[in-house]
């Protein structure tokens, strides 16, 4: 998709993003689309959440079955804002939908997704209902994107998600050492919070367990980069990935899953 170069953000908004590592913006998103996402994603949440709606839950890549999720991930105003902030065309590759707060420990997305050159990745979190301090807002640390880009290697941890809890413990020590001050993502329905790839963030506790906190996160890479998964990489060998970009129209066919033989061949450099 060739993105319109129209400016949707002011110079002060761009400056604020560069300084703080995040930006809250209102792109006048279609409210009917947001409501449809909430309604249509609801049946897709896991059975344990359906039985006990106080349990954290999520649905990954609901855009494959719910077109409104795809439409939000491909919203033109958001794409134009990302172009302004990063200077390259945005390429959405993953959606996550949540019915309540995640209560995630603090982390940086660069441990999950990164690129060469680095930092050409961003997250956009859209509130599908009003968010306040009681229904599990985002928790983020302004300015933390300027810190070192911490990997598993930096903490002497072997790569792999089996060590992720140790990574979280190390990041918490960074927060304490740097005396970072957190802020809550208290935003209105339809507003979007854009964050820098290296911004430290997580999920605040949900004080009122009777309430929902419907939201959608879309993760974006940017054009003209190589992409890899740091969590599964070592200092000597990066785990490169070939993302499937979320289509900009409803007329698409998903690629067939890679066969084991093809994945092995690609790792060996055989085309």
Separation of alpha carbons 205 and 202, rounded Å: 10
pLDDT tens, residue by residue, 3-23: 556 899 999 999 999 999 999
- What pLDDT sits at residue 6? 81
- What pLDDT sits at residue 268? 58
pLDDT at 26 over 80: yes
The answer to whether residue 6 sits within a structural domain is: no
- What pLDDT sits at residue 257? 75
pLDDT at 136 over 60: yes
| pLDDT range class, residue 269, cuts 50, 70, 90 | low
The answer to whether residue 182 sits within a structural domain is: yes
- What pLDDT sits at residue 1? 42
The answer to whether residue 23 sits within a structural domain is: yes
pLDDT at 123 over 90: yes
**CATH label of the domain that carries residue 228:** 2.60.120.620
Asked if residues 98 and 214 have their Cβ atoms less than 8 Å apart, the reply is: yes
The answer to whether residue 152 sits within a structural domain is: yes
Separation of alpha carbons 124 and 200, rounded Å: 14
- What pLDDT sits at residue 159? 94
The answer to whether residue 74 sits within a structural domain is: yes
- What pLDDT sits at residue 198? 98
pLDDT at 220 over 80: yes
The answer to whether residue 1 sits within a structural domain is: no
Out of 149-158, 226-235, 262-271, least confident range: 262-271
* Range list of β-strands (E), 182-214: 183-184, 191-196, 201-203
Domain count, the chain: 1
| pLDDT range class, residue 189, cuts 50, 70, 90 | very high
Residue of higher predicted confidence among 35 and 271:
35
The answer to whether residue 248 sits within a structural domain is: yes
The answer to whether residue 4 sits within a structural domain is: no
Mean pLDDT of the chain: 94
Residue 47 domain boundaries = 11-267
Is the Cα torsion angle 95, 256, 79, 37 positive or negative in sign? Answer: negative
pLDDT tens, residue by residue, 43-78: 999 999 999 999 999 999 999 999 999 999 999 999
- What pLDDT sits at residue 69? 99
């Amino acid at each position: 998709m060739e993105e319109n170069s129209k400016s949707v953000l002011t110079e002060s908004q761009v400056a604020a993003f560069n300084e703080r590592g995040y930006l809250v913006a209102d792109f006048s998103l279609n409210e009917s689309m947001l409501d449809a996402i909430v309604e249509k994603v609801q049946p897709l949440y896991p059975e344990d959440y359906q039985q006990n709606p106080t349990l954290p839950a999520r649905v990954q890549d609901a855009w494959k079955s719910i077109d409104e999720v795809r439409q939000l991930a491909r919203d033109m105003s958001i794409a134009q804002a990302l172009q302004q902030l990063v200077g390259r065309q945005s390429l959405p590759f993953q959606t996550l939908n949540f019915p309540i707060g995640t209560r995630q420990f603090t982390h940086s997305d660069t441990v999950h997704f990164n690129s060469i050159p680095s930092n050409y990745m961003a997250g956009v979190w859209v509130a599908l209902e009003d968010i306040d301090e009681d229904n599990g807002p985002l928790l983020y640390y302004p300015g933390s994107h300027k810190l070192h880009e911490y990997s598993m290697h930096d903490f002497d941890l072997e790569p792999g998600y089996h060590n992720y809890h140790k990574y979280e413990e190390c990041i918490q020590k960074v927060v304490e050492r740097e005396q970072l001050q957190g802020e809550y993502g208290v935003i209105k329905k339809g507003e979007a919070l854009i964050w820098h790839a290296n911004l430290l963030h997580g999920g605040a506790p949900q004080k009122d367990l009777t309430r929902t906190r419907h939201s959608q996160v879309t993760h974006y890479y940017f054009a003209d980069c190589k992409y890899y998964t740091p969590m599964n990489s070592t200092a000597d060998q990066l785990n490169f990935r070939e993302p499937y970009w979320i289509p900009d129209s409803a007329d698409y066919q998903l690629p067939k899953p890679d066969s084991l033989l093809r994945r092995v061949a690609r790792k060996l450099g055989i085309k």
